[in-house]
Amino acid sequence: MLDLAVIVNNFTFLVVQGLLGLGGFTGGTLRLAIPAIVLGFVLGIFIGIARLARAWWISVPATLYVEFFRGVPLVMVIFWIWFIIPQLLRLPIPEYGVALTAFVIFEAAYFGEIVRAGIQSVPRGQVEAATALGLTRAQSMRYVVLPQAIRNMVPSLVTQMIVLFKDTSLASIIGYVDLTKAAQIVNNREIRPFELYLFIAVVYFIFTYSMSRIAGRFERRLA
């Protein structure tokens, strides 16, 4: 039988600490996921545009960046920043800083690819028509290419945001008390894995499903 008392009794710890990050420990799934998504996407826009730059000294580093971070596991990036950067800089970085930096750097590579593909999905004739009308490169990007590119990007962007949201559970390996880690802590005391992990699965699902619903509405509005 499900014993939901374990959820009720530990609800504050799971939600306030694990989900929101407002408890006594450094942590919080939303506190990490939201800025990681926003900053990762912003950095990704720059990387995506840089990959398409004509100047090789812009496009080549951007390409190397993407290939490199897509080629290594996220856990490894977290460990590097956790162990190596403090040694190099000779100053400690708190868990939150490590986790956020790792996610932004790692996810920006994926967001960059989505942005690049979105821009390239706009037919060449669109740019030619804009150019022929006398628009500058920046104007044709702003008024003609990006509005169409973003519409094409939405499904992949949402998928990536959902992946990132769930991947924040990896931050628990450096002691960041997110939802997954909070459930683990409670479970160590209560030994109620089924209830606890079912509960956090529901919480993750509510957020990811909401993201895909909002995106669906956004897509219809753009269409």
Partner 1 sequence: MTDTVIEFRDVNKWFGNIHVLRDINLAVEMGEVVVVCGPSGSGKSTLIRCVNALEPIQGGELVVLGESLTKPGVNLPALRTRVGMVFQSFNLFPHMTVLENIMLAPVKVRGLSAAEASRVARALLERVRIPDKAENYPANLSGGQQQRVAIARALAMQPKIMLFDEPTSALDPEMINEVLDVMTDLARDGMTMMVVTHEMGFARRVAHRIVFMDAGQVVEEAPPDLFFAAAKSDRAREFLSKILTH
Spatial contact of 116 and 59, defined as CB atoms under 8 Å apart: no
Nearest approach, Cβ of 9 to partner 1 (angstroms)?
Answer: 53
Using the 8-state DSSP alphabet, how is residue 133 labeled? T
Nearest approach, Cβ of 138 to partner 1 (angstroms)?
Answer: 10
Nearest approach, Cβ of 133 to partner 1 (angstroms)?
Answer: 4
Q: Which is closer to partner 1, CB of 148 or CB of 159?
A: 148
Nearest approach, Cβ of 129 to partner 1 (angstroms)?
Answer: 4
Nearest approach, Cβ of 45 to partner 1 (angstroms)?
Answer: 19
Q: Which is closer to partner 1, CB of 152 or CB of 187?
A: 152
Interface contacts to partner 1, rule CB under 8 A: 123, 125-126, 128-136, 139, 143-144, 147-148, 151
Q: To which residue do tokens 């909002």 refer?
A: 214
Q: Looking at the DSSP assignment, which residues form a beta bridge with residue 177? A: 27
Cα Rg of the chain (Å, integer): 21
User: For residue 114, what are the CA distances in angstroms to 17, 40, 74, 121?
Assistant: 33, 12, 18, 10
Q: How far apart are CA 220 and CA 209, in angstroms?
A: 17
187 CB-side CA count, 13 A: 15
Q: Which is closer to partner 1, CB of 151 or CB of 166?
A: 151
Q: Which is closer to partner 1, CB of 62 or CB of 149?
A: 149
Q: Which is closer to partner 1, CB of 16 or CB of 127?
A: 127
